[in-house]
Amino acid sequence: MVKRGWLRKGMGIGRKWLVAGGVVLGLAAGVLEPLGAEQTGASGRYLETDVSLPEVQGCLRLYDIVRMEDGRLRILGADEESGVSVWDSADGGDSWELSASLPEEYGNLYFTGAVLCADGGGAGLAMGNLGSSEESYYFVSFDAQGNAVRTEEESPKFGQLKFLRDGSLVWMSGKGEVYSVNRENGENRNLLGNGADMIAVCGGEALLLMDSGVQRIDVASGEPITRDDALEGALFAGGASYEITSSNGFPILSTEDEEGRLYYCTSEGIFSHVMGGGVMEQIVDGSLNALSDPSRSLVAMEIADQNFYVIYTDADGMQKLMKFAYDPDISSEPEKALTVYSLEEDEGIRQMIVLFQKECPDIFVKYEVGMSGTDGMTASDALRTLNTEILSGGGPDILILDGMPVESYAKKGVLTDLTGVLEEVKAEDGLLENIAYTYQTEDTIPAVPSRFGVPVAFGETEFVSQLSDLASLAEIQKEDLLSITNILLLPDILYSASAVSWKEENGAMNQEKLSEFIHVMKGIYSEMRENVLPETLEWIDIYRTEMKNLNQEESFELKDLGFYYMGLLEKDINGHAARLCTGTVYSIDTLSGISSICRQKEACEMKAYAGQSDGVFQPVATLGVSAASKEQEASLAFVKYLLSKEAGIQNDGPGFSVNAAAFSSVLYDAKWGEEDGPTYSSSYEGSDEILRITFSWPTQEELEQFSEMAAGLTSCADTQLVQQEVVLGEIQNCIGGLISEEDAVNRIMQSMNLYLME
């Protein structure tokens, strides 16, 4: 069995050496009459479709796509059966034929980058072991038939490669140096420039994207060309940067047609430009399609027969291909428009907006965020502004109600009844009714959580079995069970679930419950500080400072149990291995991690644990439709889509779907490529050793136990952000020694009473 080195993960590559498996140069022919037609106000628009890729053994990693001189499309990729190969399509990607493969030994190499030329050949940068025990680095050149030649490099060679239309090759090193290189052996010829973040090519010139703008260089002579003010202004509007910061893709792609027109692609869309001209034209609006999907990373781009082809990496690290084809019959702009609003950024919602617009191209969805994190806006400020808009008969069509006073909005008639939508989804796929119907009253269902997490405790059975409430956690923590990091985030982790029990019938806060929460949090934190090493105290103070300003994505990550469970196997900064951890299970990956720890460490278990409450779930992306929306039908269609099986499976945001079919599919349909027991191994560098663990899919029994746990959750965690900001802020003041426990309680009660009176 040939070892396929290109499947390896976790390459240790430096800041500018993070190179994706794809490059962006391609050649195309044809007069592009429809390009830009949508800008004239006439009918017609480029729409996105998925392109089927060749059927291969295992996963197919894609590096590049090009339109060859004879008009065929060619993609460069690698799979377990064929190794590094090229596939051709004569029908615009509808079908693919394996045309050539590099010799079998090249399957042992990991290609950090590879490109195709219009003549069908290509070049790449690779590393691996070929006949020796030490890892070597190679420049690889191959022709259209797959005949390859490798040149061993004296030192690691990473970076970007670009083919010009005449077959000349340009290379940008990991340090930002740009050279013209020999296509056969990668030998440097002329130094074209320094300090580049990325490179593109057009005609006979190289374009160096730098902090200072775009430097144009004639590749043949090495001489600079007059700056292109229009291109530079468009690319760097708003302070954009093109530094490569991910190994999964690039911030910008480019290609050119046979007439020398440049096309480039970002998350904002696809644009065209004639070098040296004064006009920039948007061909494809990224806000109307998957280019704006934050879970996708751009890999390579080509134009052929007036269509655009874009290779991208999805959230699971798989390369896929999408096509943008011109539809002359559809309206150049969507006929309807919806506005979705959330207090904090939710990338899962952004992703769902993209997918919804693909399903409904006649609806444009705008996403607004109340708290950008950069303008000093508090939750109270944002809600006050939102409420003013709603009361005036305006505001957004769809509310992502996380952090908002859902019950208050429902009582005031702000939200549309969603009963009909839920009944439709229930009939089609089923719903986890204990969660989906959490806001149901006698007359209406004003809101529905589209996703959820499960607050749990996990660790050694001896201690997990003793947990029943907050007091029991305080008692068993006297044996120093939790990791330092888990303790530092404990108020944030347990707040939402515990706060459910603080609410009185009149809406006021239960002072006794609040006092208990603060007392336990302060006690656990103080006891931890008394038992750590002096040098650890300095780290703790720095960590607490950094944790003060978390955006929603970081907040979810730090509350996820996956952030803590490795502490049961490795020691923390104080040389202490945890025996218990708390957090929320938001994904099948975290659940797989838990089951994997159980296999490596004996006598471990997980149970639902919510501090001062019982049977609590954490709602995620709770949906509501404004009663004032003038687009009720389209708004309800959006809600239904987010509750659908398709959205539940594809959503890469945190949480499990309330759609029963999607929930079942995510749990029981293994995604790691093997039917029975898919696994992968990872290494973690601990405080004094390298820790190796094999992660594997949960067993049928473990999945059923989790399903039963989810079915028993009946209480919705409190997500009101105004109260959360006040409570957690005063708790941090208290555990930091700035105020007493009594002062913290009084200040919280006073602040919340004033807020409720508004």
Give the helix ranges, DSSP H, for 574-699.
588-600, 632-642, 645-650, 660-668
Higher pLDDT, 223 or 679: 223
146: alpha, beta or left? (left if phi > 0; alpha if psi -120 to 50) = left
Confidence of residue 331 (pLDDT cuts 50, 70, 90): confident
Read off the pLDDT of residues 102-129 as tens digits, 9 standing for 90 and up.
999 898 889 999 999 999 999 999 998 8
Give the pLDDT mean for 524-546.
Answer: 84
Backbone φ and ψ for 107, nearest 5 degrees, come out as: -70, -15
Instruction: Say if residues 271 and 280 touch (Cβ distance below 8 Å).
Output: yes
| Average pLDDT score over the chain | 87
Query: Residue 647: pLDDT above 50?
Result: yes
Give the pLDDT mean for 606-625.
Answer: 96
Residue type, 247: S
203: alpha, beta or left? (left if phi > 0; alpha if psi -120 to 50) = left
Query: Residue 162: pLDDT above 70?
Result: yes
Instruction: Say if residues 559 and 584 touch (Cβ distance below 8 Å).
Output: yes
Query: Residue 10: pLDDT above 60?
Result: no
Give the pLDDT mean for 357-365.
Answer: 92
Residue type, 480: D
Query: Residue 42: pLDDT above 70?
Result: no
Instruction: Say if residues 187 and 123 touch (Cβ distance below 8 Å).
Output: no
Q: Quick one: what percent of the chain has pLDDT higher than 90? A: 64
Domain 17-327 has CATH 3.30.750: no
The pLDDT assigned to 154 comes to: 82
Confidence of residue 372 (pLDDT cuts 50, 70, 90): confident
What are the CA-CA distances from residue 9 to residues 13, 211, 596, 680 (Å)?
11, 30, 19, 10
Of 182, 180, 185, 127, nearest to 156 by C-alpha is 127
Q: Quick one: what percent of the chain has pLDDT higher than 70? A: 89
- Sign, Cα dihedral of 491, 567, 677, 62: positive
Q: How far apart are CA 96 and CA 113, in angstroms?
A: 22
Of 186, 114, 131, 193, nearest to 155 by C-alpha is 186
3-class DSSP state for residue 146?
A: coil
Give the pLDDT mean for 465-476.
Answer: 94
Query: Residue 421: pLDDT above 60?
Result: yes
The pLDDT assigned to 132 comes to: 67
Residue 18 β-bridge partners: none
Of 438, 431, 428, 453, nearest to 664 by C-alpha is 431
Give the pLDDT mean for 304-319.
Answer: 90
459: alpha, beta or left? (left if phi > 0; alpha if psi -120 to 50) = left
- Look at domain 336-449+620-654 and name its CATH class: alpha beta
Residue 694 β-bridge partners: 681
**What is the DSSP secondary structure assignment for residue 131, as one 8-state letter?**
S
Residues whose CB is less than 8 angstroms from the CB of residue 604 and which lie 6 or more positions away in sequence, other chains included: 458, 459, 460, 461, 464, 568, 597, 598
- By mean pLDDT, which of 4-18, 163-177, 226-240, 264-278 is the weakest? 4-18
Q: How far apart are CA 149 and CA 102, in angstroms?
A: 10
Of 349, 264, 267, 352, nearest to 312 by C-alpha is 267
Confidence of residue 18 (pLDDT cuts 50, 70, 90): very low
Q: How far apart are CA 127 and CA 116, in angstroms?
A: 19
Read off the pLDDT of residues 282-295 as tens digits, 9 standing for 90 and up.
999 998 888 988 88
Query: Where are the chain's structural domains?
Result: 17-327, 336-449+620-654, 451-619+663-719
Read off the pLDDT of residues 727-749 as tens digits, 9 standing for 90 and up.
999 999 999 899 999 999 999 99
The pLDDT assigned to 26 comes to: 28
Reported as type and span, the H/E element at residue 702 is helix 700-711
Give the pLDDT mean for 76-92.
Answer: 92
